[in-house]
Structure 1
Amino acid sequence: QPTDHLQRPLKLRFTFQQDNDPKHTAKITKEWLHNNSVTVLEWPSQSPDLNPIEHLCRDLKMAVHQRLPSNLTELERICKEEWQRIPRSRCEKLVASFLRRLMAVLAQKGASTKY
């Protein structure tokens, strides 16, 4: 494929992070990640959540809830619409705040933070 050379370097430059939710640690999930050569960050159980995507998921959940979808088709459409509405600046702010959130976690020795 013409774009194959563009996709390969991404596998080398990125590490996948997930929490230890049972669906993420299921045998079938681990096998899929391994078979697809996905590098996964080791993440301790019940670690404070430092993953910016969790904040975006919360934003999405709140926006979708306000629109009151009445069926699965509507839910899917609304999710896609609301995901597209999340400003790039929100993503940039979450990524930029990582060091500050990490320092707060370290200061709390892994306990809860305001984040």
Structure 2
Amino acid sequence: MRKENYVDILRQHLKTSVRKLKLGRKWVFQIDNDPKSSSKVVAKWLKDNKVKVLEWPSQSPDLNPIEKLDLKIAVQRHSPSNLTELERNCREECEKLPKYRCAKLVASYPRRLEAVIAAKAASTKY
């Protein structure tokens, strides 16, 4: 994905998602250190749209719980050949996820944060 595509996704979906999730005004957006996410184009869009971004040190562990769901692997098994198929495969795989598994990942977040703090942002078992 190119940084311009990422900006398009943010433009189309970020504020809508915030409204649907009923986050109000006191939410913070977390991005990783992927080059497209941390590009000047994305930073400018976020600033222009008054999006508060969580500061994230480089080389920090990935604490995104969705990474543990292995959705990427599940979707790749379908070998989607276009965007429509990719979206359909993503939805299908998300619907298959047991809710308890997602809840367990969310519940583990405080422990994972504590482990990262204790390790001074070095790698952890998570």
TM-score range, shorter chain: 0.7 to 0.9
1:10-30 Cα distance to aligned partner (Å, 9 max, x none):
352211111111101111111
CA 1:77–1:98 in 2, change beyond 3 Å: closer, same or farther? same
Aligned to 1:95: 106
Native 8 Å contact 1:11 1:38 kept in 2: no
**2:25 partner SS:** helix
Which of the two has greater helix per residue? 1
Match of 2:50 among 37, 43, 48: 37
CA 1:37–1:10 in 2, change beyond 3 Å: closer, same or farther? farther
State the shift of 1:44 in Å. 0.5
Gapped regions of structure 1 (runs ≥ 5): 1-5
Normalised TM-score (structure 2): 0.71
Q: Which amino acid aligns with 2:94?
A: W
Q: Which amino acid aligns with 1:99?
A: P
Q: Percent identity?
A: 58
Task: Find the aligned partners of 2:68 and 2:29 in 1 and give their Cα distance.
Answer: 17
Moved over 6 A (4+): none
Gapped regions of structure 2 (runs ≥ 5): 1-17
Native 8 Å contact 1:16 1:41 kept in 2: yes
Aligned alpha-carbon RMSD (Å): 2.3
Aligned to 1:83: 94
Aligned to 1:49: 62
State the shift of 1:70 in Å. 5.0
Please tell me whether Structure 1 or Structure 2 has the larger radius of gyration of its CA atoms: 1
Task: Find the aligned partners of 1:114 and 1:21 in 2 and give their Cα distance.
Answer: 22
Match of 1:112 among 95, 100, 123: 123
Provide the aligned length of Structure 1 versus Structure 2: 107
Normalised TM-score (structure 1): 0.77
